[in-house]
Amino acid sequence: QAELGKPQRNCYTLPGFDFSYGLYVHRTDGGVPEAIGHWNTVKPRTASVQKMPRDFITMNRGALKAGYTTAHEFNLYYKAKDIRCKDDEYSRFKRCPPKVPADLTYGITARPCTPLFDLLQHKYKELWMEQQRALTAAQQVEKKKKDKVRETRTTLLRKHPPPAKEESFWHLPHLEKV
């Protein structure tokens, strides 16, 4: 029962000073003399038989070939034909490293040096100027193509008017013989 007039305690009493917390492990808790005196190496584990994960790609392909389309049919197919990944595909340790030439260097190759003679001659500026001139010429040719308008009969007659007919004075028909 709670003490009269005092709030109820919500903690435990701690053990005495002679109590040590934690677990004592003989192999690793020997301190420095244990570490110097013994070489505790990890022994390799025997390969435990573990269940390989399901190969859903192959199972999905088989279900589609069988004509199943709904999720329920797919689940029934998974239960009927439980295909697992092959051991060689799953384990990366059993694969051999790739065969590479002996003189292969890994990493990114360094950029080739910029020729100093080309910098001194301003060759890059000249190449850029040539590209700009070619680009401007191409744009002008394109603009001329767009500006060219098809000729109509009216514009042709304005440029090349037909020759004017010689004007003859009109006479009355019965006075022609005079």
List per-block mean pLDDT (blocks of 10 residues) for the chain, which spans 178 residues: 73 81 67 69 68 87 93 93 75 69 83 85 92 96 80 89 80 74
Domain count, the chain: 2
Domain assignment of residue 58, given as a range:
51-95
Same domain, 56 and 87: yes
Q: What is the pTM (predicted TM-score) of this model?
A: 0.27
Is 17 inside any structural domain? no
Dihedral sign (CA 156, 157, 160, 162): positive
Dihedral sign (CA 6, 10, 13, 14): negative
Is 100 inside any structural domain? no
Q: How far apart are CA 123 and CA 116, in angstroms?
A: 10
